[in-house]
Structures are given as C-alpha cells and as structure tokens.
C-alpha cells in the first residue's frame, strides 16, 4: 500500500517539476512566437511583393487568399521540420487577435456616402473583409490587405507548423 502512495507522490512531483519548467520558459516561448510570427508575415509580404512585381492587371481576390494560406503553410511546415518548436503552431492565435482588433476598428468607423452607406455591422465586416466582388469603401478599400490576408497567412503558418511537429512519445 505504501508503494502505491509513494508512486503517486513521485508522479505528482514529476508533473509539478514539468509545469515549473514550462512556466520558467515563458520568455523563451514568447520570443519563439514572435520569431514565427515575423517569419509568417515576412513570407506573406514577399509573396505579395512577387504578385505586385508581376504587374498583372488584376489578380482575383480568391487566388490571393489561397496563396496567402498556402505559401505560409509551406514555409511553416519547412521551418518546423528543421526546428521542432511547439510555439510555431500558435501563430494562428496572433492572427485571430489581429483580425479581431481590425474588426473592432471597422465597426467603430462611421458610414457615409461611398463608405458603406446605411450598412449594419455584419455588412460592414462582410464587405470589408470577405466579399469577392464588392467593397465597403472603409479604410480606403484595403480591408483584405490589412485584415483578411495577414490573418489567413498566420493561420496557414500555424497549420503548416502543426503538421510538421513530430508526435511525442
């Protein structure tokens, strides 16, 4: 009976030590999230510059959205294969936080002629971020560039990273 109790106490102590190690590494974890976020946004910016430099007359919104997901997904997968780091898969949270901040900014904007006149909240958000054919006119029509595509890039990087993480035994 005492051996069972000792094993339980030993396993509890091991779990406590592992938790203390994780907490003591918060600064390092924050730094890795920052590094992976910069990599995700950096590869997205390079992709956007490549699209711009090709001087195509018009690139469909859906193609840019797909590339904003696929290119960071591939980069995140490659980076995480070389440097196994659990923090890489959390970049989607940064993307979500960014998107929510931009959504609040859009919802707080006044409407008027040429700027989503008589739009309700859902129309403002849909026309600014998601509509492939129309635009709300808010933030000079750059809602996808500022809100949607960087968010999708961060989510794609997180998905690619989580696919590349090796399973722990």
Pair of tokens at residue 108: 């707080």
With CA atoms as reference, report the closest residue to 67 among 158, 149, 142, 139: 149
Do 152 and 73 contact (CB within 8 A), yes or no? no
Tell me the pLDDT of the chain averaged across its residues: 87
pLDDT of 156 strictly over 80: yes
pLDDT of residue 2: 56
Output the pLDDT for position 7: 67
Give phi and psi for 112, each to the nearest 5. -175, -170
Poorest-pLDDT segment among 6-10, 80-84, 97-101: 6-10
- pLDDT of 48 above 50: yes
User: Does position 122 have pLDDT exceeding 60, yes or no?
Assistant: yes
**Higher per-residue confidence, 166 vs 145:** 145
Going from N- to C-terminal start, the domains of the chain cover 2-164
Say if residue 46's pLDDT is above 80: yes
Place of tokens 């509509």: 131
Task: Look at residue 135 in the predicted model and tell me its pLDDT.
Answer: 82
pLDDT higher than 80, residue 4? no
**Per-residue pLDDT for 77 more than 60?**
yes
3-state secondary structure of 138: helix
Residue 3 has a pLDDT of: 63
**Mean pLDDT (whole number) for 150-165:** 95
Q: Taking a C-beta distance cutoff of 8 angstroms, is the pair 159, 151 a contact? A: no
Check pLDDT > 90 for residue 152.
yes
- pLDDT of amino acid 27: 85
């Amino acid at each position: 009976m005492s051996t069972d109790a000792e094993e339980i106490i030993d396993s509890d102590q091991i779990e406590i030590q592992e938790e203390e190690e994780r907490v003591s590494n918060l600064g390092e974890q924050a730094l890795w999230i920052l590094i992976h976020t910069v990599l995700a946004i950096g590869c997205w910016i390079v992709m956007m510059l490549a699209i711009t430099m090709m001087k195509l007359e018009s690139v469909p919104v859906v193609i840019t959205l797909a590339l904003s997901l696929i290119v960071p997904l591939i980069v995140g997968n490659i980076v995480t294969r070389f440097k196994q780091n659990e923090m890489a898969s959390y970049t989607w949270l940064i993307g979500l936080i960014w998107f929510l901040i931009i959504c609040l900014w859009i919802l707080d904007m006044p409407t008027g002629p040429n700027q989503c006149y008589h739009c309700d909240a859902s129309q403002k958000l849909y026309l600014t971020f998601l509509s492939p054919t129309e635009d709300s006119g808010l933030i000079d029509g750059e809602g996808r560039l500022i809100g949607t595509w960087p968010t999708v890039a961060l989510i794609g990087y997180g998905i690619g990273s989580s696919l590349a993480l090796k399973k722990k035994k």
